[in-house]
């Protein structure tokens, strides 16, 4: 499966997401963001980049989830992706950071 890189504008992040954790990838600050309505979880670069003439936050990891039970905060992981151009240690750091989040409980495969 090919995953195309994507990004979010600062306005979209402010309007739709809550920052739930932070970490570093190759010395660069990153934020884990969460949209409670759609249950989107993404790891983005904290700094904006000029992408096709617009300032945007590049997404370097995602977790797709679905409700695992009647408890709205218990979520089953259905997909876990990190940008292959990032250091190999990023996937473990991303997963570890998600374990400490208070907003939800993730159920991994």
What pLDDT score was predicted for residue 5? 59
What pLDDT score was predicted for residue 61? 95
What pLDDT score was predicted for residue 63? 94
- The list of the chain residues with pLDDT below 70 reads 1-5
Instruction: Report d(CA 74, CA 49) in Å as an integer.
Output: 34
33 token code pair: 């963001």
Number of neighbouring beta carbons within 10 Å of residue 3: 12
């Amino acid at each position: 499966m090919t995953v195309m890189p994507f990004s979010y504008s600062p306005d979209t992040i402010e309007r739709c997401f809550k920052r739930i954790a932070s970490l570093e990838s190759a010395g660069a600050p990153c934020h884990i963001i969460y949209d409670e309505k759609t249950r989107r979880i993404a790891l983005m670069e904290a700094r904006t980049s000029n992408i096709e003439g617009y300032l945007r936050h590049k997404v370097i990891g995602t977790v797709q989830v679905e409700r695992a039970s009647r408890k709205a905060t218990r979520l089953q992981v259905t997909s876990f992706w990190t940008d292959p151009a990032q250091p190999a240690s990023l996937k473990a750091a991303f997963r570890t950071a998600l374990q400490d989040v208070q907003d939800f409980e993730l159920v991994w495969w």
